[in-house]
Amino acid sequence: MNNIIEIKNLYKNYQTKKEEISVLQNINLKVKKNDFIGIVGPSGVGKSSLLSIIAGLEKPSKGEIIKDNITISYMLQEDGLMNFLNILDNCLLGLRINKKINKNSKNEVIELLTKYGLKDYIYSYPNDLSGGQRQRVSLIRALALKPDLILLDEPFSKLDYKIKNDISIDVRNILKRENKSLIMVTHDIEEALNICDKIIVLGKKEKSIKGIYVVDNKEELYKRIWSDLND
Amino acid sequence: MISEERRLYLKRRKKDKIIIIFLRVFLIVFLIFIWELLSRLNIIDSFMLSSPSKILNTIIDLYKTNNLFIHIYTTLKEILISFIFGNIIGFIISSILYLNKKTYLILEPYLTILNSLPKIALGPLIIMICGANIKSIIILALLISSIISILNITTAFYNTDENKIKVLKSMNASKFDILLYVVIPSNYLIIINEAKVNISMCFVGVIMGEFLVSKQGIGYLINYGCQIFNMNLVLTGIMLLIILTIVLYIMINLINKLIKKESN
């Protein structure tokens, strides 16, 4: 199967007034269609930077990133919903910016909202929704652009444990059903195991990939990733 | 059905409100009364400090000679023109400075210095350039009101939630899209608040301008009264300003209520 993304020898440094900070070194990664990849690592290891580079929001310092003519949507730590727009308009924002809005696309978004239990909230405002519902809207906003790949940047870190568990399973089901590929970054191993089929561990000392694991035996894998992270 | 405790609470609240309104009215009536009394008893110098009855007579005289509304109209017109232009200019320049960060970084210290400078000092220069007319008054008011709004609105624009901006960037939004879809709507309340502050700033600017150049307006009335040593006219001008301030204060409150209703 063809790669939709291939990262070759990628480095990322940040420049400050005092010094140069290296966050990623020699990253090599291939993402195939329908892959569900979780990137796990401690805070400050460069997970979000890697995602930003894949999304095209930041440039790598060195290395190459080859994308196979795909559309990418990004879902962030905070849902980033605009409080002054209703739920439908929030979901249509990307289409509006890309001038792809028409009656059909609007109906498709309404269909998505209906399909995922938000029919009654179409004309409500984000403040009327619970944390879990807001994340779901944020996901539908990402899906509205019909992306091939969805990037999730610690999307559930602000939610409490119970909702986090439910919504992570919910998100996996939605994305599988919509036939999307996924790369998510998180520092929560359990969350990554709940959603992803493949886990990549980023080491803080190495600033690079420390291990790649296919999710099978979750309990066993949890221990291995835990020991990788605390090495 | 409301509880007895709630009924008593509402009753007490209503009573307190009535007492406060009564005391407010009483205070002003009392002060006017004392002023008039002291003036009539020659305890205070009515030539220098006038008296409420003399001020009333001056207002009636101004009305009879068809001058009262001309002065009020002139001042209000100048406030309104500088208010509208001040807000438009403030908003447009802030947007440009947001779209072009380098320009903002270059201009920021100059704007801060210009903001700290007492604008009245620029009065003579403005009059030399624009002439002794309404243009100079409006430019002075604009300088007073728009520079602070440019600084405040631009700072607010740059402090917009980075997360929301990142969401839009990930949707391939241009800087202009970000300004239009996130930055302006997110700072809507700040822009309206600046407009509220601008009303009073324009008021100050217009009166200062009228002191310097005008032939009409309340500021002119006060200045002219001083020149001919007619303190009745000076205090009439000040009284008219107080009345105008009250009207503007009520307007600001109404705008405030509308904004609150809107944002709810």
Say if residue B227 is in the same domain as residue B193. yes
* Shortest alpha-carbon distance between residue A80 and chain B (Å): 5
Q: Choose from B170, B176, B182, B190 for mutation: most chain A CBs within 10 A.
A: B170
- Is A93 in Cβ contact with B171 (below 8 Å)? yes
Closest CA to A192 of A163, A164, A160: A164
DSSP letter, residue B182: I
- Is A80 in Cβ contact with B166 (below 8 Å)? yes
- Domains in chain A: boundaries: 3-70+148-229, 83-146
Say if residue B159 is in the same domain as residue B233. yes
- Residue B9: give the domain boundaries: 4-44
CA contacts within 13 A on the Cβ side of B72 = 17
Q: Counting one residue from A and one from B, how many pairs have CB atoms under 8 Å apart?
A: 44
- Is B181 in Cβ contact with A80 (below 8 Å)? no
Residue B215's pLDDT band (boundaries 50, 70, 90)? Answer: confident
Say if residue B98 is in the same domain as residue B123. yes
The C-alpha atoms of residue B250 and residue B243 are separated, in whole angstroms, by 11
Q: Report pLDDT for A1.
A: 55
Q: Which residues contact B32 (CB under 8 A, 6 or more apart)?
A: B52
The C-alpha atoms of residue B59 and residue B56 are separated, in whole angstroms, by 5
Q: Do residues B148 and B115 touch, judged by C-beta distance below 8 A?
A: yes
In angstroms, what CA-CA distances link B195 with A138, B74, B83, B115, B259?
A: 34, 21, 8, 17, 12
Q: Report pLDDT for B264.
A: 62
The C-alpha atoms of residue B242 and residue A36 are separated, in whole angstroms, by 69
B186 in A contact zone (CB under 8 Å): yes
Of residues B164, B173, B188, nearest to A80 (C-beta)? B164
- The CATH H-level (homologous superfamily) assignment of domain A3-70+148-229 is P-loop containing nucleotide triphosphate hydrolases (3.40.50.300)
Longest dimension (CA), chain B: 78
Higher pLDDT, B206 or A216: B206
- Is A82 in Cβ contact with B177 (below 8 Å)? no
Q: Report pLDDT for B26.
A: 97
Of residues A78, A97, A151, nearest to B171 (C-beta)? A97
- H-helix or E-strand spanning residue A156: none
Q: Residue with structure tokens 């302006």?
A: B184
* pLDDT higher than 90, residue B255: no
How many distinct structural domains can be found in chain B? Answer: 2
Say if residue B247 is in the same domain as residue B201. yes
pLDDT tens-digit profile of B100-147? 999 999 999 999 999 999 988 998 999 999 988 899 999 999 999 999
Residue B151's pLDDT band (boundaries 50, 70, 90)? Answer: very high
Residue B199's pLDDT band (boundaries 50, 70, 90)? Answer: confident
Say if residue B39 is in the same domain as residue B74. no
Q: What is the CATH number of the domain that holds B227?
A: 1.10.3720.10
Mean pLDDT to the nearest integer, B19-41? 95
pLDDT mean values, one per 10 residues, chain A (231 residues): 86 90 91 92 88 91 90 85 92 92 91 88 92 87 91 82 79 89 91 91 85 86 85 73
* Shortest alpha-carbon distance between residue B264 and chain A (Å): 10
Q: What is the pTM of this model?
A: 0.82
Say if residue B202 is in the same domain as residue B75. yes
- Is A82 in Cβ contact with B186 (below 8 Å)? yes
A20-32 and A3-15 beta bridge pairing: antiparallel
- Is A72 in Cβ contact with B185 (below 8 Å)? no
Kindly state the tokens that stand for B34: 């004392």
- Is B166 in Cβ contact with A98 (below 8 Å)? no
Mean pLDDT to the nearest integer, B28-54? 93
* Shortest alpha-carbon distance between residue B150 and chain A (Å): 23
- Is A78 in Cβ contact with B181 (below 8 Å)? no
* Shortest alpha-carbon distance between residue B167 and chain A (Å): 7
In angstroms, what CA-CA distances link A192 with A168, A215, B70?
A: 9, 10, 75
Q: Do residues A94 and A141 touch, judged by C-beta distance below 8 A?
A: yes
B264 in A contact zone (CB under 8 Å): no
* Shortest alpha-carbon distance between residue B163 and chain A (Å): 6
The C-alpha atoms of residue A31 and residue A35 are separated, in whole angstroms, by 6
* pLDDT higher than 70, residue B47: yes
Kindly state the tokens that stand for A53: 């580079």
Helices B218-227 + B188-213 axis angle, to 10: 30
Q: Do residues A185 and A48 touch, judged by C-beta distance below 8 A?
A: yes
Say if residue B159 is in the same domain as residue B119. yes
- Is A76 in Cβ contact with B166 (below 8 Å)? yes
What is the ipTM metric for this complex? Answer: 0.83
